[in-house]
Structure 1
């Protein structure tokens, strides 16, 4: 039987995250008298007002108890965004008022960011954003730090979820789970191994990439658009950042790539990343008990996956 978090439990989790952020901020010397929740889905995002600092506290996680692994990922995000900000790239940057490192507190691991007022009158233009991602990729290419290969795909999370989802028949049917497992058998080697990927896709370069659909993670700030939410920053093919967005967004990205004189998207790699991205969607069903409203967002994606070519056509 699948047990779902109740609204009361969800509210208690949010309250605990806010309390942890307030306590951590004050311990770091910030004045916090009016903490305001800005967002609460996979993470609780809190403005530690009146300090110009926002805390992001991940709360919906495959392994909430593994704060060490989470902190490693958070440190990558802080390092990349601080480096981009130093290069003059428009990003939401780590707060300069605290050390640029994850902050553990009361069973959470959080990161602290500069508060940026939002332009609430601006509607997002995801096609224009997709073209802009080519600019971001050009800026990220010389990043000197070390990043894991396709860590944004979270292969261990996919593998564990596909192994356990048969215990939750209300989340996915047996036929769909069987398909997902067979697809993962084909795709997993190229996700876990950089040499295997490069042998399968010769000539497709790898570079630092955002990792989490950057066209959907451009923040409309009062002073202009800012790239945001690099939580899954990784080394990979640029196609990963356009996964599952479709031909219009792919064409927009290619316009940006031509303008930058950089590589356009490879159709075969797009098939691969689209297939892996859909398996991440299936794996994310395991998080629905922690965030029940997630199901209404995942079901249309699963329906779309059912109509896609098996394993992105890589079984041919």
Structure 2
């Protein structure tokens, strides 16, 4: 049986990540005397004060994720964020005080970002955020770098997790796991193959997209709001960035798209990405040994998934 981490283990993991970031920052010439943890869930995010630099250190990862594969994703994120910054798009930029490269130290791979003061009094407005994502998509369309098709879905992680969940009793029921596996048999080919996707959804253009629910990844800065966390940047349909958010947020996005001269969301593609997104959420249950509170986060999504059409209607 897989052991779940204790609060003591989490505290040690966080401390080790902070120590690695402080050491790496000092090696890069930064003055660090008062490192402050700003966030600690899937990644430890630490302000390397008094330097205006924030390090982000992923700590909760699939077991198969290597430092090299993680660094490849981080490099793509840094490249996209730097390019968007150069175009004038409001994003949190990579720190200009260190080389724009992932840094590996003590078993961690980390990136460094410009420190931006947060407006802690501002309440999130995910509907307004969804409308603004159309502006982000318009900005990203011209990104010249190479991105993999729907890498944000991480099909290998889904496939392996659906097998692993049988060894993690209590996280999901047998009937639900059976449904997830049968859905994945239908959806997997369209996630793994751009050709198969384009055949199933002719005329749906693909472009660089954020990859990880950008309405939930807008940072409320004191001076202005900034797009952030492009860790899962990918090539895909714009619908992926609105997966699982529901009709109100979809309508808000469509308002932004209409204002910017972009196409509205396609209902069939939305059904597809919603179904894949739910399976990815179920797959994320395999990370609960590293982050036990995930069970409570994901349970509402599993309950919602059971009310949705099988495989997003792709089996009809």
For the pair 1:57 / 2:69, whether they are aligned, the reply is no
Give the drift of 1:72.
0.2
**Alignment partner, residue 239 of structure 2:** 239
Q: 1:79 maps to which residue?
A: 79
Q: Which residue number in structure 1 is paired with residue 30 of structure 2?
A: 30
Tell me if structure 2 keeps the 8 A contact 1:92–1:227.
Answer: yes
Matched-pair contact (CA < 8 Å) for 1:217–1:229: yes
Aligned to 2:289: 289
Task: Return the offset for 1:169.
Answer: 1.3
Unpaired runs of 5+ residues, structure 2, are none
Counterpart in 2 of 1:100?
100
| Structure-2 separation of matches of 1:13 and 1:106 | 11
Task: Give the CA deviation at 1:255.
Answer: 0.4
- Verify: 1:277 aligned to 2:277, yes or no: yes
Say yes or no: does 1:303 pair with 2:300. no
Alpha-carbon distance in structure 2 between the residues aligned to 1:184 and 1:4:
27
Runs of 4+ in 1 over 2 A off after TM superposition: none
Q: How big is the shift at 1:172? A: 1.1
TM-superposed CA distance for 1:115, in Å, is 0.2
Distance 1:63 1:23 in 2: 25
1-structure distance, mates of 2:86, 2:53: 19
Post-superposition offset of 1:64:
6.6
Unaligned runs of 5+ in 1: none
Aligned-residue offset at 1:2: 3.2
Alignment of 1:255-274 (within 5 A): 255-274=255-274
Following the alignment from structure 2 to structure 1, what is the Cα–Cα distance between the partners of residues 248 and 56? 32
1:146 is aligned to: 146
What TM-score comes out, normalization by structure 2 length? 0.99
Structure 1 residue matching 2:142: 3-state secondary structure: coil
1:99-138 pair list within 5 angstroms: 99-138=99-138
Distance 2:299 2:246 in 1: 18
Judge which range, 136-145 or 55-64, deviates more: 55-64
Distance between the aligned counterparts of 1:220 and 1:277, measured in 2?
Answer: 26
TM-score normalised per structure 1: 0.99
Structure 2 CA distance for aligned equivalents of residues 62 and 215 of structure 1: 24
Per-residue Cα deviation, 1:223-273 (whole angstroms, up to 9, x for no partner): 110000000000000000000000000000000000010111000000000
Distance change >3 Å, CA 43–CA 214, structure 1 → 2: same
Contact 1:65-1:107 within 8 A present in 2 as well:
no
Tell me how far apart the structure 2 counterparts of residues 36 and 101 of structure 1 sit (CA, whole Å): 22
How far apart are 1:65 and its partner, in Å? 5.8
Q: How does 1:157-236 map to 2 (within 5 A)?
A: 157-236=157-236
Which moved further from structure 2: 2-11 or 203-212? 2-11
Separation in 2 of the partners of 1:116 and 1:190? 39
What's 2:48 paired with?
A: 48
CA root-mean-square deviation: 0.7
- CA distance in 2: counterparts of 1:221 and 1:158, whole angstroms: 34
